[in-house]
Structure 1
Amino acid sequence: MILLRKVRVFSLFILSHYAVKFCIGGDIITASEYIQDPGSIISSGGFYRLGFFSPNGTTNRYVGIWHNKIPVFNVFWVANREKPVLDSSGVMTISDDGNLVILNGKKEVLWSSNVSTSGANAKAQLLDAGNLILQTQSSNMSTNYTTAWESFQTTCDTLIAKMKLSTNLRTNEKQVLTSWKSPSDPSIGSFSISLEPLNIPEVFLWNGTTLYWRSGPWNGKVFIGTPEMLSVYLDGFSLVDDKEGYVYLSYNFAEVSYLSYFFLRSNGELLQPFWDEKKKQWRIDWSTRASDCDVYGKCGPFGFCDAKKSPICSCLRGFEPKKVEEWSRGNWSSGCIQKSLLQCDKLKNGSSKVGKIDGFIKLENVKVPNYAIWSSPLEDKCREQCLSNCSCAAYAYDAGVGCMYWSGDLIDVRKFSYAGTTLYVRVAHTELEGKRDLRAIIATAAVVATVIFSIGTFFAWQKSKKRGGKDGHQFSKASSENVLGGSLSKVNLQELVLYKLEELATATSNFSDANKLGEGGFGAVYRGRLLNGKEIAVKRLSEASGQGLREFINEMVVISKVQHRNLVRLLGCCAEQDEKLLIYEFMPNKGLDAFLFEYAMEGRFSEKSDVFSFGVVLLEIVSGRQNTSFNEEDQSLSLLGLAWKYWEEDNVLALVDPKISVGCSEIEIIRCINVGLLCTQELANDRPTISTVISMINNEIVGLPRPNKPAFTERQTTTDTGSSRQCQKKYSANNVTITALEGR
């Protein structure tokens, strides 16, 4: 019995030792510590796993790397793509010559790292970046390891962070992505992606040897033919020339927890999925097949693709279909040809009538054609250089690239709904004359209409002036009630008060400058206090305003009928002794413009003003303070200035309202402040689009850039401002006259 127990203990020891050899739990593979199906190794941080797997629809076994912490199985690298193990006898180990190999049950080598090594103490290690590296020592006596091979240099169908697409400029050797043959077959398929170091680098997607999609030229930040690419916010897209013959493209995220990658499907579609932790699924953020216009050369040479139109293909202006019948059948691959000869072509043909010089048609928000040639960094030289070169068919300018021009056929020009580049296409002067003739007709018609309208307005004004003189004579002798009585039927008399001029003069200290709130084209506005203590704002119309009695009445009618919380309320009026006055409620808390943001603060308005306003609101929520709470005399900073001050001091949490700091993570709060400051940067071009802001808030864009100094960081003073801001303490919002149009 004792002997049997010893045998069992010894057997358990042997089995445990054997299990360690083929199913190790670390991140290392050696000659003695190998992986045998179904064993695996895991990177030290637990992010990635290397092991055997079978794709859906097959029992063949492959060795691959996948995300270890994601419940959805997703392989991004496969070793033995072309030679699977046909059963579960596979082993990955270090061979005698120091290479990493995969063997089947017959000890046949199905795959090898295939590098020259010393073989001394070779080991393979799976890193937390997902890279499998093979390291060797120069000799048994050496303690230093050198990397002889790595999986990141033998990419498959997926590009993850820190991987590279590269090209050797000297040998033209390329590191590319290659698709699977099918979803169940990892062997090399028909599609591949490479970095092409042309005159200006681009990324090409190939179907065999046929170009299938392209990214557009690289401008130092993004590929300008891929408007969805937001390198500024993705924190790490870079294209590098290492000065040793290699050009490579890579990307990296600031936060390792954010999982996203680029994946080339077996059907040729390039996707960018990201992991949605809440929904526990991969979601597609971007694809190269959003429309048929993404297919390279869909409309042929000199064709123009617009996914929002039907049909999607048309010819550039000045061009016509080369094969009309094919175009009518929806086959646009033959493209278009020029309608009229260019000046250079006429010279080549020896024509005696060369005509006027060529011109350019302007195409905005487009993907520029393939094979751009760089010419000059100066924008003002682009047109001149293109016109002086007979082979130049088009030109464009990008701040990151400079002047680009194209010779020969213009292929793969398409319309974008946003972003893109402005392209100038060369056409014969006759193609521009037609448009100029149309412009001349429109301009002439507009001038004639303006003259007729002006004459009619003049006679109407003369007639009104004569009639206004009669009204003025009566007006000067009668009281307000007598003058306005017939017209006040249109006004709500229950709320409208007819004030006496003497009463208003007393309330405003005889319209003293000390009580003046502001002055506009129609007169001045004064602050006043009635005998009952009620504060009012009195608008005194000047004689230079040109307003007659009728216009004065119209304004009363309109404003008395309009009731809105954001519009100042009309309290009454006065019409005595050639004076016309309107009495409004006084607004001690200033007008609504004091609560608005960029436009109201300095009169600036742009397509990013809504983004600016959103940023201010976001900072108001985080701080628990209104932007207008910084208008006190003893404060020199606005809310933006205070937020920027704390940001520069690396003390942004000092801005946070204590009420919201409870229960919210500091990371989320700091992120909101970062987004708010990005939205309120001084230059509109520096601000993200509102769609990008949404992605930032939803953590779809993880690595946020550092903001530049926001606009309006200092509180404005009387010397800075005009119009309604001439007095910071005393406000009345009414400095606009509204006139209702009536038939005369």
Structure 2
Amino acid sequence: MEAPSIWFLRANLLFFFFTTTSSSLFDSISQFQSISDGKTLVSSGGKFELGFFSPGTSKNRYLGIWYKKIPVKTVVWVANGCNPINDSSGLLSISSTGNLVLLGKNRSVVWSTTSVKQPQNPLLRLLDSGNLVLKDENDGNQESYLWQSFDYPCDTLLPYMKLGWNLRTGHKWSLSAWKNPDDPCPGNFTYGIELRPHKYSEGYIRQGNDKFYRTGPWNGLRFSGSPELRNNPLYDFHFVDDDNEVSYMYTLKNESLISRLALNQTTSTRERYVWIEADQTWEQYISVPRDYCDKYGLCGANGKCIIGQNPVCECLEGFKPRSQENWNTMDWSQGCKRDLPLSCQEKHRHGFIKYVGLKLPDTTNSWVDNSINLEKCRAKCLNNCSCMAYTNSDIRGKGNGCVLWFDDLVDIRLIPDGGQDLYIRMPAVQPERKTELGAYDKVKTAGITVAVMGAVVSGMLILGYCISRLRTTASKEKIMINEIVSQNNGGRKEDLDLPLFDISTMATATNKFSMENKLGEGGFGPVYRGMLKDGQEIAVKRLSERSGQGINEFKNELVILFAKLQHRNLVKLLGCCIHGEEKMLVYEYMPNKSLDSFIFDPKQSKQLEWWQRFQIICGISRGLLYLHHDSRLRIIHRDLKASNILLDKEMNPKISDFGMARTLLGDQTEGYTNRVVGTYGYMAPEYAYNGKFSIKSDVFSFGVLMLEIISGKRSTGFHHQNDGVTLIGYAWTMMQEGRPFELIDECLRNSSQNLSEVLRCIHTSLLCVQQCPVDRPSMSSVVMMLAGEVALVQPKSPAFFMESNGYFEADYSSSKHLSSSTNDITITILEAR
């Protein structure tokens, strides 16, 4: 009787085993179960999934965790990142000692965990937080884990994950970016909280051993150099510094939100993303480094960086450049030194200059005491000849705690909205600046106040009359602008709140439109450099009286201004000026001018390394995606080309010149026109021959632009070895013949590039320039292709590919819409300068 019972029991166990491992609906396995390649675990709420995957174009297999319900496979954790399995033999199980073991071919151990104690009843479970935990089921404490994946982050920080140190065990929590989208093995791009006893804790991003970006120290509310950590509707931020741990983590105010923080080796950025369900895409919430001033130690020792200033670096008060010659060439690496040395014999006569709104200096040479106030902190600094600066370590409430800096002050930048106070030591002959008035000053000020009040009252009466007249003029201008926008915006009328500049402001800003301020001239008219009274640099487009094309462009750009576009990769249109026959558009000024001045110039092109070109490509793609999908109006640019990509101080690309743009309403994605405008070499075939424009015609132009950035060659006037083939045709030939890297700009060939990244860009560009619009990807797909988040399909023969009998133009060669009339078609021919 006993044998059949045992057989029945074993049969039931086997049935349970096979049904469990063949399903992806379970969130856990026990010691008698395993997960093979093709099987998965899914967290109880269906948020995360554990299984085997192959990243990018790789065929290697890795054990990882990704979001279950997001169509774009986004991996957040990898077990065997540096030890891939090259077939489908992978098997995850719990060993007899209660540890996780990942086996590969021939049952070789690929990866395993180490637990300090052996559990009686081990269980592996995937939680809805994305945490993979190994616990003892007999342990009544539900949050007592033998091992957890959250202790071993990869490139992604999820809510409730920690960065920092466990002081009891010495274990470090930090992020390491993948080497590339095809290889999850940690590269040299890392982010973590660095532990230094009795010093001010802060986070660093490093490239290898070199500091790349610094968060600034934690001041009780946030990292002092990270204004994005201020109160916001999405996140709460937590920092612990006690005897057990030093750690930082973030949580979500709304648990239904999906968000992650990731390191990107390719772009050298740390990015915080939010999943937008309606658009089925990851939206970037913040990316660091944010700007040029975020580059670690840019201004050297005792210098500070001020974004928007030219140049961005200046010495602290009481300091001067160590090398004025280098400083004048914008080489600030040697930093600044004191005008007058500090004398320790006179230390009690020293004073302090108070700075406000700063990212505090690097805390490598710092000391912290959280038990004393600011007054005692000042005294402690004054008594130590080596102390260079001090401030509160905790700014909550009225402030508390003390931090002292010794030696040079490094990596300071101005953060007007969210920075911190810093008191910097000065010699006795440079006393600290007074923040209160003396008794005599107060009496004197009272007398001045009485005299001034009378003048103010009279002035206000006069000012009121002037404002009344100005408002009347401004109202007329607004009515005129409303009419223009209404005519060019499908007849829709809205109460527009448009920024208006008066003619005198424009004249003053541009030095009366002097030739010295003239930047150039286009079909619209001349463009002038200017500066407003607040110091903001601007570019002013002035409509030429002779420009027939210009008035249409002016109207178009007003529609774009009405759309209130806000994106880091679009040039910001600040406003306009209408005064009689004068019509002007006012933009933010771009000091590095346009992209074509770099990529097509033999000398300038050498300044653009591959990583910069790739960032420019990615920036343009994000800007175009915004125009097509995320802006208030769907906008087709229709004239995307290198000369219409402007570069800011940090070489960030900005799409400009919306004079030829068209807006589409609702779900529209295309339109027709009898007036074809644009630039030869960038125009999609269906637009050039049939007047049909769409988001896909912009994609075509972007593909051409990508090839120009990669090759350094103009698409127009390109002839390879006198065979008449176009740049697109040449790129296609190189791909077909297995020689794609011959397309790379010659000035880059002797330098190191990410070849897989270059190849991905060439491949993507050929998909963008496909003959038929339906074969071209959308910009959302292009952005994911460039990020390596989707597989690339094989491109067909692209548009305008030269065959033996001439250009291959498919169905567009017999277009009925093409007209020779200058009223119907406006095409710019670009030739090498």
What TM-score bracket applies, with the shorter chain setting the length?
Answer: 0.5 to 0.7
**Partner AA of 1:112 in structure 2:** S
**Partner AA of 1:406 in structure 2:** W
Residue in structure 2 matched with residue 406 of structure 1 by the alignment: 405
Given the superposition, is the C-alpha separation of residues 23 and 322 from structure 1 closer, same or farther in structure 2, using an over 3 Å criterion? Answer: same
Given the superposition, is the C-alpha separation of residues 193 and 381 from structure 1 closer, same or farther in structure 2, using an over 3 Å criterion? Answer: same
Given the superposition, is the C-alpha separation of residues 60 and 355 from structure 1 closer, same or farther in structure 2, using an over 3 Å criterion? Answer: closer
- The DSSP-based 3-state class of the residue aligned with 1:261 is strand
Residue in structure 2 matched with residue 358 of structure 1 by the alignment: 350
Answer whether contact 1:28 1:125 (CA < 8 A) is retained.
yes
1:433-480 C-alpha deviation (Å, 9 max, x unpaired): 9x99xx9xxx9xx99x989x989x99xxxxxxxxxxxxxxxxxxxxxx
Residue in structure 2 matched with residue 164 of structure 1 by the alignment: 162
1:189 aligns with 2:184: no
Given the superposition, is the C-alpha separation of residues 339 and 280 from structure 1 closer, same or farther in structure 2, using an over 3 Å criterion? Answer: same
Residue in structure 1 matched with residue 177 of structure 2 by the alignment: 179
Given the superposition, is the C-alpha separation of residues 187 and 394 from structure 1 closer, same or farther in structure 2, using an over 3 Å criterion? Answer: same
Answer whether contact 1:321 1:335 (CA < 8 A) is retained.
yes
2-side partners of 1:316 and 1:124: how far apart?
56
**Partner AA of 2:290 in structure 1:** A
1:387 paired residue among 382, 385, 394: 382
Give the superposition deviation at 1:340.
0.9
RMSD: 4.1
Give the superposition deviation at 1:209.
2.6
Answer whether contact 1:96 1:119 (CA < 8 A) is retained.
no
- The DSSP-based 3-state class of the residue aligned with 2:251 is coil
Structure 1 segment 413-432 matched on structure 2, within 5 A: 413-431=412-430
1:374 paired residue among 368, 392, 398: 368
Answer whether contact 1:117 1:136 (CA < 8 A) is retained.
no
1:11-58 C-alpha deviation (Å, 9 max, x unpaired): xxx999857534442111234432221221111111111111111121
- The DSSP-based 3-state class of the residue aligned with 1:252 is strand
1-side partners of 2:143 and 2:339: how far apart?
67
Given the superposition, is the C-alpha separation of residues 16 and 113 from structure 1 closer, same or farther in structure 2, using an over 3 Å criterion? Answer: closer
1-side partners of 2:238 and 2:138: how far apart?
34
Structure 1 segment 461-540 matched on structure 2, within 5 A: none
2-side partners of 1:355 and 1:406: how far apart?
16
**Partner AA of 2:422 in structure 1:** L
Given the superposition, is the C-alpha separation of residues 258 and 143 from structure 1 closer, same or farther in structure 2, using an over 3 Å criterion? Answer: closer
Give the superposition deviation at 1:428.
2.7
Answer whether contact 1:76 1:156 (CA < 8 A) is retained.
yes
Give the superposition deviation at 1:146.
6.0
Given the superposition, is the C-alpha separation of residues 423 and 146 from structure 1 closer, same or farther in structure 2, using an over 3 Å criterion? Answer: closer
**Partner AA of 1:363 in structure 2:** Y
- The DSSP-based 3-state class of the residue aligned with 1:386 is helix
1:199-235 C-alpha deviation (Å, 9 max, x unpaired): 3322222222333222222222212221110257555
Given the superposition, is the C-alpha separation of residues 84 and 416 from structure 1 closer, same or farther in structure 2, using an over 3 Å criterion? Answer: same
Structure 1 segment 182-221 matched on structure 2, within 5 A: 182-198=180-196, 199-221=199-221
2-side partners of 1:389 and 1:233: how far apart?
44
1-side partners of 2:414 and 2:84: how far apart?
45
Please tell me whether Structure 1 or Structure 2 has the larger radius of gyration of its CA atoms: 1
1:574-627 C-alpha deviation (Å, 9 max, x unpaired): xxxxxxxxxxxxxxxxxxxxxxxxxxxxxxxxxxxxxxxxxxxxxxxxxxxxxx
2-side partners of 1:364 and 1:222: how far apart?
16
2-side partners of 1:16 and 1:170: how far apart?
41
1:76 aligns with 2:70: no
Give the superposition deviation at 1:294.
1.2
2-side partners of 1:70 and 1:174: how far apart?
30
Give the superposition deviation at 1:116.
4.8
Give the superposition deviation at 1:126.
0.6
- The DSSP-based 3-state class of the residue aligned with 2:327 is helix
**Partner AA of 2:354 in structure 1:** K
Residue in structure 2 matched with residue 87 of structure 1 by the alignment: 87
Given the superposition, is the C-alpha separation of residues 390 and 91 from structure 1 closer, same or farther in structure 2, using an over 3 Å criterion? Answer: same
- The DSSP-based 3-state class of the residue aligned with 2:204 is strand
Answer whether contact 2:276 2:283 (CA < 8 A) is retained.
yes
- Number of residue pairs matched? 437
1:265 aligns with 2:257: no
1-side partners of 2:200 and 2:89: how far apart?
49
Residue in structure 2 matched with residue 622 of structure 1 by the alignment: none
Answer whether contact 1:395 1:425 (CA < 8 A) is retained.
yes
Answer whether contact 1:24 1:33 (CA < 8 A) is retained.
no
1:254 aligns with 2:246: no
Gap regions ≥5 residues in structure 1: 1-13, 348-353, 459-521, 523-546, 566-744
**Partner AA of 1:192 in structure 2:** T
Give the superposition deviation at 1:172.
4.1
2-side partners of 1:27 and 1:137: how far apart?
14
Residue in structure 2 matched with residue 110 of structure 1 by the alignment: 110
Residue in structure 1 matched with residue 488 of structure 2 by the alignment: none
Q: Could you tell me the TM-score, scaled by structure 2's length? A: 0.47
1-side partners of 2:465 and 2:327: how far apart?
58
Given the superposition, is the C-alpha separation of residues 314 and 454 from structure 1 closer, same or farther in structure 2, using an over 3 Å criterion? Answer: closer
- The DSSP-based 3-state class of the residue aligned with 1:212 is strand
Answer whether contact 1:81 1:187 (CA < 8 A) is retained.
yes
- The DSSP-based 3-state class of the residue aligned with 2:349 is coil
Answer whether contact 1:137 1:146 (CA < 8 A) is retained.
no
1-side partners of 2:143 and 2:422: how far apart?
53
Given the superposition, is the C-alpha separation of residues 137 and 299 from structure 1 closer, same or farther in structure 2, using an over 3 Å criterion? Answer: same
2-side partners of 1:134 and 1:101: how far apart?
12
Given the superposition, is the C-alpha separation of residues 311 and 206 from structure 1 closer, same or farther in structure 2, using an over 3 Å criterion? Answer: same
Given the superposition, is the C-alpha separation of residues 119 and 389 from structure 1 closer, same or farther in structure 2, using an over 3 Å criterion? Answer: closer
Given the superposition, is the C-alpha separation of residues 21 and 260 from structure 1 closer, same or farther in structure 2, using an over 3 Å criterion? Answer: closer
Give the superposition deviation at 1:138.
7.1
Structure 1 segment 683-698 matched on structure 2, within 5 A: none
Give the superposition deviation at 1:88.
1.9
- The DSSP-based 3-state class of the residue aligned with 1:228 is helix
Given the superposition, is the C-alpha separation of residues 172 and 133 from structure 1 closer, same or farther in structure 2, using an over 3 Å criterion? Answer: closer
Given the superposition, is the C-alpha separation of residues 327 and 20 from structure 1 closer, same or farther in structure 2, using an over 3 Å criterion? Answer: same
Give the superposition deviation at 1:426.
1.8
Percent identity between the two aligned chains:
36
**Partner AA of 1:168 in structure 2:** N
Give the superposition deviation at 1:326.
3.3
1:347-399 C-alpha deviation (Å, 9 max, x unpaired): 3xxxxxx6993333332211111224335643344444433332221222353
Give the superposition deviation at 1:191.
2.2
Gap regions ≥5 residues in structure 2: 1-13, 473-833
**Partner AA of 2:58 in structure 1:** T
Structure 1 segment 507-586 matched on structure 2, within 5 A: none
Given the superposition, is the C-alpha separation of residues 119 and 363 from structure 1 closer, same or farther in structure 2, using an over 3 Å criterion? Answer: closer
